[in-house]
């Protein structure tokens, strides 16, 4: 009668091979850019680099008589300082997979609130009737030095298409911000009430 060994060598070989693969995956890529992380593709093909890049801040100020804050900010690479200079010379294409806008309140006005939300359909600055029915966040003006976040991710597959790094004015979504004295209690004097900036999660591919 033949006796079968109770220990198989095959899993051991597979284990060694897996350890080798993990070691190779952790090696630093000499072509990676500072601040960007290489994403290993699930299938053989062009590698992708990803990184988080922050925009410059935008200050929101009320008007004298009506206290209106009405702003529509296109969430695109134009918000990133020197985007073309920094990335167009290195990469061919990019796309935005996530955007997180932060609203920092720095007015001591009380009462009153600022309302903000994302809009994928219109670039028009909001009116009171639009703001009253929009689904978004409301923050008290008096919450000085507090930061409030709102996150956007692409819902349309077309928004995940790669675009040339030379094109920076793509606007898949707009950040709308609104307040007034009549409905939201904004101050009726020229007052800087908040600042806004956005952190983009971008993916790049193709060397220029």
Look at 35-39, 134-138, 186-190, 197-201 and tell me which has the smallest mean pLDDT.
35-39
* Phi, psi (deg, nearest 5) at residue 12: -65, -45
10-207 fold: Jelly Rolls (2.60.120)
pLDDT score of 162? 94
Element (H, E) at 70: strand 69-74
CA distance 198 to 127: 23
**For residue 143, which of 186, 189, 194 has the smallest C-alpha distance?**
194
pLDDT score of 110? 66
**For residue 72, which of 180, 178, 186 has the smallest C-alpha distance?**
178
Structure tokens at 47: 């590698």
Look at 27-36, 37-46, 124-133 and tell me which has the smallest mean pLDDT.
27-36
Q: What are the structural domain ranges in the chain?
A: 10-207
Tell me the per-residue pLDDT of 46-78, one tens digit each, with 9 for 90 and over.
Answer: 788 999 999 999 999 888 778 899 999 999 999
């Amino acid at each position: 009668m033949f006796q079968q060994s109770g220990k198989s060598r095959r899993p051991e070989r597979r284990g060694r091979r897996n350890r080798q693969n993990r070691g190779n995956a952790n090696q630093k890529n000499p072509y990676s850019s500072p601040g960007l992380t290489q994403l290993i593709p699930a299938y053989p093909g062009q590698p992708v680099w990803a990184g988080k890049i922050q925009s410059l801040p935008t200050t929101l100020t009320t008007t004298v008589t009506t206290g209106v804050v009405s702003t529509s900010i296109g969430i695109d690479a134009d918000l990133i300082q020197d985007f073309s200079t920094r990335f167009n010379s290195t990469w061919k294409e990019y796309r935005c997979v996530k955007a997180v806008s932060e609203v920092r309140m720095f007015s001591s006005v009380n009462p009153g609130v600022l309302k903000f939300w994302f809009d994928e359909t219109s670039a028009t600055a909001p009116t009171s009737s639009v703001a009253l029915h929009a689904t978004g966040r409301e923050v008290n003006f008096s919450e000085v030095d507090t930061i409030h976040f709102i996150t956007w991710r692409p819902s349309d597959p077309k928004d995940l298409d790669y675009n040339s790094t030379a094109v920076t004015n793509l606007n898949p979504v707009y950040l709308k911000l609104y307040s007034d004295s009549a409905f939201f209690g904004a101050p009726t004097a020229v007052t800087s009430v908040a600042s806004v900036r956005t952190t983009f999660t971008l993916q790049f591919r193709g060397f220029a």
